[in-house]
Structure 1
């Protein structure tokens, strides 16, 4: 068995929003984009033990000892003060977990789930861990029936996807904007690499879902509907999930952005259907 480890932000044993059916969702710490719209912005960075969070913790759940930040779970009240104060957009509550430790949690949940989804942050920033985790799951008879999915921003290069291909059942990818300049403004990077990932995953039957996040007055899907639709058609029969931006939990200027409602999302769905794209999923609810 491997001793490979990863920085884990959170584990949700039972989730119905991170892929088909009930799934265990593993959120890894760290991301290579800086999306203004991120609903989990504290998963972007890695703790550098600066101690800023320990100074402001109102419940003394954090302490600074020998140059390290220590989190005491028994004292923590989940007030999120540390998340709001962190200059690294990280969490002192992230845990280093081995493949074996994660598999033990999966085994406990296995009778009640259909699979596991690795998310983030950006899951693929810890690619060797994911590859080893999925390999071990596939090799464990009692767990081999579980589907292994990745929720990704698509920034991984093709050589990385090639490593993941043999043990991954599917990848859900976000395309934050159509034009690279808009994507740069919203995430800090352009999207040509992401489009290449989407194409490659579709060609290899691993694109489980293409996700489009509607941010009123910010995203450019409707104004680019023809090239966007042509791109989606080139991928074959895929599912397109439309998500609605909401400002809850976001940082910086995005806190002032208007949340998306049905009147913002449904015109995009209709425009895609008018272009012959019929496998479109609307948000289950709007906040």
Structure 2
């Protein structure tokens, strides 16, 4: 864990010493995602003013601007099935998903209210009947620190809800211990395309997320000179890999989006040739 993140966790006004490990780690993930999103959005704004045509990420090359990302303003799209981050059918049961949704809602509702307080165009609450699971997975003995992890992503109007539970001993994470947060995915007015790409990482694993257009058939996320194939479900592309052997650096994070013919419709060049093995 980075020193600046440790400081944020120690000084954050909504963290107290009686919070569980799961709550602290989910809060840390949220801080990482928001810091990454802010950096990317700021870079986007500067580059759009400078060029008026393209968005540059980390000096790696221009973004394609001929296809807009998925329009999340029309509401969530229930998936045909819930997937793991590697694209397989979920290994989380329907009963567990129901419990995770229930446990995630309080934190997500608080985030939605906070977001709407400064962004009036956003919903100030989350309708449970319009909150759909798109990714859900339980992983055991995962990453360099051998975490046992239970994670889910839910899609709703304007927000992506992240849920997670962790254990540090031989026990399995329980749905009853899941805590959640909500991040805005509705595009900001007058911002560049693809600004909602985000990444988060711990000493144990790395995650990527990107809303994509209907034309997108595949996505590659890259970091530290390698790439991993993303999984697309309901207009959201995501990947989740072990951090083992990955040289993490903010200036090497990127993505590339391709249509069914293999034509790149968004992202940055060049795409690394090395693939990171996913657990």
Which structure shows the higher strand fraction?
Answer: 2
TM-score of the alignment, normalized to the shorter chain, above 0.5: no
Which has the higher Rg, Structure 1 or Structure 2?
1
| Relative contact order higher in (CA < 8 Å, ≥ 6 apart) | 2
Return the TM-score normalized by structure 2: 0.28
Return the TM-score normalized by structure 1: 0.27
